[in-house]
Amino acid sequence: MPITAAEERAFYDNVYSRFLALPDEQLRVDRQVMLRTWNDPRQPQYERRRLYMAVMARLEAHLRPGLRVLDYGCGPADWGVWLATEGAEVTLLDLSPAAVELGVRRAGASGVTVRGEARDASDLSCFRDGEFDLVYASAAVHHTLKYPHAFAELVRVIRPGGVLLLAETYGNNPLLNGARKLRAAVQGEAEEQGEEIILGDAEIAQLRGAFASVQLHELHLLAMGKRLLRGKLHLAWARRLVEAAESLDASLLRALPSLRRYCGEVVIEAVR
């Protein structure tokens, strides 16, 4: 049985409400805080640092004061709060009220203001058609697209010429997908973590049908082996292995671009 929105909300409320007890100092976000976290091998975000750096570069290419941004499925809202500190006019959206409360508090702790909307992405009637210049979703659309109307609503709130930017796990590689399912089963991962719904060709085709242009930036083929080293990346030998795989990937993907579709992570930029 597929999980319901209520189950997903309860799961993420439980995850995020724990952070609400933290002092403001630990909730503050800005560019420096994000870069420091990604580059710290003891932090879980280290594993995705190259994906995050690629996304940050794309977001920075669009940033200007007053840019109307929706952080879609914002979770702890690092991205939305960071963009607000860079002068964007940010709205946070998440199914989980705890996520939105956390994001609004983090914005306050970072010296900026954001709007927060706790609601299901399948009904965005609180937003006008074309209300946003840019919608950014980090590891979120693979949660929302399974809900009816969510895709149509996502497209509707982006202005013509506006941008949808996605950072996602990429799901065209059957070996990687099998390994992900196995790991989720072995580790008893909750279904709500969404590992079973992975963005791939079908969703890209859906995007191409609704947007004027869709560009993909695929990352990590052999370097997806980093998943096997989770919890060990604070060790120098483990980091060296991942770096070696990353540089092998760079040569391999340059020589054989057709392998890009089998990478494990992707940044997608679609212009409406």
φ, ψ of residue 244 in degrees (nearest 5): -65, -45
**Sole residue written with tokens 């560009």:** 215
Residue 147 CB, nearest approach to ligand SAM (Å): 5
Please choose, from the candidates 104, 97, 202, 214, the residue with its C-alpha nearest in 3D space to the C-alpha of residue 155. 214
φ, ψ of residue 43 in degrees (nearest 5): -95, 145
Residue 140 CB, nearest approach to ligand SAM (Å): 4
Of residues 73 and 162, the one with the C-beta less far from ligand SAM: 73
Site for ligand SAM in 78-137 (CB under 6 A): 94-96, 99, 120-121
Of residues 151 and 245, the one with the C-beta less far from ligand SAM: 151
Q: What is the DSSP letter of 89?
A: E
Of residues 80 and 200, the one with the C-beta less far from ligand SAM: 80
> Measured at CB, which residue is nearest to ligand SAM?
75
**Sole residue written with tokens 């203001």:** 113
Of residues 121 and 267, the one with the C-beta less far from ligand SAM: 121
C-alpha Rg value of the chain to the nearest Å: 18
C-alpha span between 173 and 160 (Å, rounded): 33
Please choose, from the candidates 196, 65, 75, the residue with its C-alpha nearest in 3D space to the C-alpha of residue 139. 75
Buried b (16+ CB within 10 A) or exposed e, 3-42: eebeebbebbbebbeebeeeeeeebbbbeebbeebbeeee
Residue 238 CB, nearest approach to ligand SAM (Å): 23
Residue 177 in tokens: 């997908």
Span from 52-60, 61-69, 71-79, 108-116 in contact with ligand SAM (CB under 6 A): 71-79
Site for ligand SAM in 12-41 (CB under 6 A): 12
Of residues 197 and 229, the one with the C-beta less far from ligand SAM: 197
Residue type, 221: L
Residue 43 in tokens: 């932090």
Task: Give 167-183 as a DSSP string.
Answer: EEEB---HHHHHHHHHH
Of residues 12 and 170, the one with the C-beta less far from ligand SAM: 12
Residue 79 CB, nearest approach to ligand SAM (Å): 7
Span from 74-82, 197-205, 221-229, 253-261 in contact with ligand SAM (CB under 6 A): 74-82
Of residues 82 and 147, the one with the C-beta less far from ligand SAM: 147
Can residue 46 be called a binding residue for ligand SAM (CB under 6 A)? Answer: no
By rule CB under 6 A, what string of x and - marks binding of each residue 133-172 to ligand SAM?
A: -----xxx--xx--x-------------------------
Please choose, from the candidates 44, 123, 124, the residue with its C-alpha nearest in 3D space to the C-alpha of residue 76. 44
Of residues 165 and 241, the one with the C-beta less far from ligand SAM: 165
List contacts with ligand SAM (CB under 6 A): 5, 8, 12, 73-76, 94-96, 99, 120-121, 138-140, 143-144, 147
